[in-house]
Amino acid sequence: MKTIGLIGGMSWESSKVYYKLINERVKELLGGTHSCKSIMISVDFNEIERLTFENKWDEIGEMMAACAQQLEQAGADIILLCTNTIHMVSDAITQSVTIPFLHIAEATGQEISSQKLKKVALLGTKFTMEKDFYTGILKKRYGLEVVIPREEDRQIVHDLIYNELVLGKFTTASKEKCKRIIGQLVIEGAEGVILGCTELPLLIPSQELDVPSFDTSKIHAYKGVEWALDG
């Protein structure tokens, strides 16, 4: 088994989900008392959040590069960044280490393609929905048509992520807002929905939706385990 390196803390709510997912998956595949060999570097999300809203992505990239280097030096064989939005600086990570980096949009694109879907909705922070670091991979490498909510609804999702979900607050009211937004995108032709924030699947159970939902954290974590076991 190879060792998975995790860059966490964005938020720690999502990091604990990643740790749980990768270990449950290893136990499922190998049985017995098996667990995943992993190393996590966790950052202070308050600092990342401040730099994000100040649009200081170069500084965030430097921080992520430093984390990646720490993981490589500690013996990690592959790196997973336990967040969607901060993949905006994934180039800073790949350029700073010699070990593989598994991009969350790559893992998600592979999973959607395996289900033969062509048009999918994307929910996440405004950065994830509006920038091309995420949608660009889905469109160019996997031929997917990606639809996002209208501007007003994008702001609703963005605000509830930063004001509620990253703080561990999950309310019925916020869930219903997201379900309404997803429902509108389905009316517009979406065949499935990407829950492109690591906390969103905690808010919106897949069984409450009328179309397939893609839990990016779970997909990403499982792909990491697949790599760790198969090399």
Question: Which sequence positions are flagged as catalytic?
Answer: 83, 197
Q: At what angle do helices 12-30 and 216-230 cross, to 10 degrees?
A: 50
Q: Which of 16, 34, 12 is nearest to 25 (CA)?
A: 34
CB 18 within 8 A of CB 221: yes
**CA dihedral (109, 48, 41, 170) positive or negative:** negative
* Consecutive H or E run containing 94: helix 90-94
Q: Which of 82, 113, 81, 85 is nearest to 96 (CA)?
A: 81
Q: Judging by beta carbons within 10 Å of its beta carbon (0-12, 13-18, 19+), is residue 91 exposed, middle or buried?
A: middle
Measured between alpha carbons, how far is 100 from 109 in angstroms, rounded to an integer? 18
Q: What are phi and psi of 58, to 5 degrees?
A: -65, -40
Helix (H, G, I), strand (E, B) or coil at 223: helix
Burial 134-170 (b: 16+ CB within 10 A, else e): bbebbeeebebebbbbeeebbebbbebbbebbbeeeb
